[in-house]
Amino acid sequence: MAGKSPTAWLLVGFGVTIAAVAVYSGFTVAQIRGLRKLQTDTIDRNRADTLLLIRIQDDLSEIGATMRDMLDANEPYPLTAWRPQLRRIRLDLEDALAREDRLSADHRTADQRKYLAASFAGFWTAVDRMFALAEAGNEAEARVQIRLSLEARQAALTTAVSRLLVRNSENEQRAAAHTRQIYAGVERNLYAFVAAMVGLILATGLYLARFNRRMFDQLGKLSEQRSELAQQLISTQENTYRSISRELHDEFGQILTALGAMLQRLERRAPEHDGIRTGLREVREIVQTALDKVRTLSQALHPVILDEKGLESALEWYLPAFERQTGIEVRYEKTGAGAIDSRTATHVYRVLQEALNNVARHSGSPRATVRLKLSPERLLLEVEDYGVGFREGARGRGIGLTGMRERAELMNGSIEFAKGGAGGCIVRLSAPILQTAEAHAG
């Protein structure tokens, strides 16, 4: 068959597909890992840091409220009464600051962290000095320290923590934007990958469709050539059979007939009780036997009656001859009527001949049934035997069965080899009848 095999291109396409899947998978895995790292190292850490900063901010707010209470003139308690409350707040602040310092180590400079720690340390130093003045009986001066130093320090710390919260919020927004970019990139890559796969599948499908169409076109041409060759071979075979049949009938038949006549004249001239006359009679009988066999062989190769009187007359002659030769009883059933052209008649006759030969050689059946059903448009021929049937694996094999199929195709018909109802097998041929002037004339 012309044309190259698609295997090489299919292997190339398969390799490209595998490579594309591997590259896309690796790129996607890298993006997912980056997204996971961003989620773990930035977003989750930033949110935890924000919660700690809010906790610090709440503690600072509580310190501010406590200092306002300490400055309230209506409070009957001395300033030292607030020492336990501020100590509790200081412990909570130090715990929150220590945790926040660990979380902020990656995205905050060492100077920034030192500044925040020093600011809180300075604040608590000022608080200790304020309580020292209060314990020494200088509550008025201690309140002045609260107004002038501690409230300013608390406000500055609150402002610093607020800035850190704003910075965390900005970091979270940037991380969210980066996350959206990663998702958008993955989505774009997915669309591009799907488009590339669809394109590759489409190109492969179109290539295969084109290759298959070309292959089936070539198969169709080969089938047409095979059909034409089969028709030519069968036509040549029939012409050869017809030529040999005529040669046997006309040439050898006439020679044997003339030889028999000459022997008969010699026999009459010989003395009646002479041994020569007896020998001539025996030779004449041998010649007659040879003449009968030549005529039988001539009819078997191509019966003249098929050309002269048509298929039905040929069957009425052939079936009794088959019975005599094989000893197989043949029942012939004919229904309907129709004019059959000589080409179709020859093919049908050959199919019948091959089917009955198979019955005699292989079936072991003592009888067979031949059914011919005719209509103006179609004929149906069935040959049924009652023997062993088709052996397992033998159906469809053999030159004879192939020849029958070829003849059925040449008639634009169909042939079927089926199991009979009472055992054995049925050969069923169905073919259209060509309505030609030759057929009607016959």
Read off the amino acid at residue 192: A
389: helix, strand or coil: coil
Name every residue whose Cβ is closer than 8 Å to that of residue 379 and which is 6 or more positions away in sequence: 338, 340, 344, 348, 372, 373, 430, 431, 433
**What DSSP letter does each residue of 217-238 carry, written as one string?**
HHHHHHHHHHHHHHHHHHHHHH
349-373 per-position pLDDT tens digit: 889 888 888 888 888 888 899 999 9
8-43 per-position pLDDT tens digit: 767 777 777 788 778 877 777 777 776 666 666 677
Separation of alpha carbons 185 and 177, rounded Å: 12
Separation of alpha carbons 358 and 60, rounded Å: 112
End-to-end distance of the chain based on CA atoms, in angstroms? 45
Decide: 130 and 145 in contact? Cβ < 8 Å: yes
Strands (E) in 267-389, as ranges, are 329-336, 367-374, 378-385
Strand arrangement of the beta sheet that strand 425-432 belongs to: 329-336, 367-374, 378-385, 425-432, 414-419
Q: Which of 142, 149, 353 is nearest to 238 (CA)?
A: 353
On the question of pLDDT at 395 being above 60, the answer is no
Q: Which of 245, 406, 402, 399 is nearest to 314 (CA)?
A: 245
**What DSSP letter does each residue of 53-101 carry, written as one string?**
HHHHHHHHHHHHHHHHHHH-TT--S-GGGGHHHHHHHHHHHHHHHHHHH
Distance of CA 153 to the CA centre of its chain: 78
235, 251, 336, 378 from 431: Cα distances, Å: 18, 36, 15, 6
What is the pLDDT at residue 5? 66
Residue 204's pLDDT band, with cuts at 50, 70 and 90, is confident
Identify the structural domains of the chain with CATH numbers, from first to last: 7-207 (1.20.1330), 309-441 (3.30.565.10)
Determine the average pLDDT of the residues in 374-385.
89
Q: Which of 382, 381, 379 is nearest to 432 (CA)?
A: 379
Read off the amino acid at residue 425: C
292-339 per-position pLDDT tens digit: 777 667 666 667 777 778 888 888 888 888 888 888 899 999 888 877
Residues forming beta bridges with residue 432, ordered by sequence position: 378
What is the pLDDT at residue 412? 86
Distance of CA 170 to the CA centre of its chain: 54
Q: Which of 370, 349, 335 is nearest to 306 (CA)?
A: 349
Residue 414's H or E segment, with its range, is strand 414-419
133-179 per-position pLDDT tens digit: 988 889 889 889 988 888 899 899 999 889 888 888 887 788 778 77
Q: Which of 360, 355, 370, 362 is nearest to 388 (CA)?
A: 362
- pTM value is 0.49
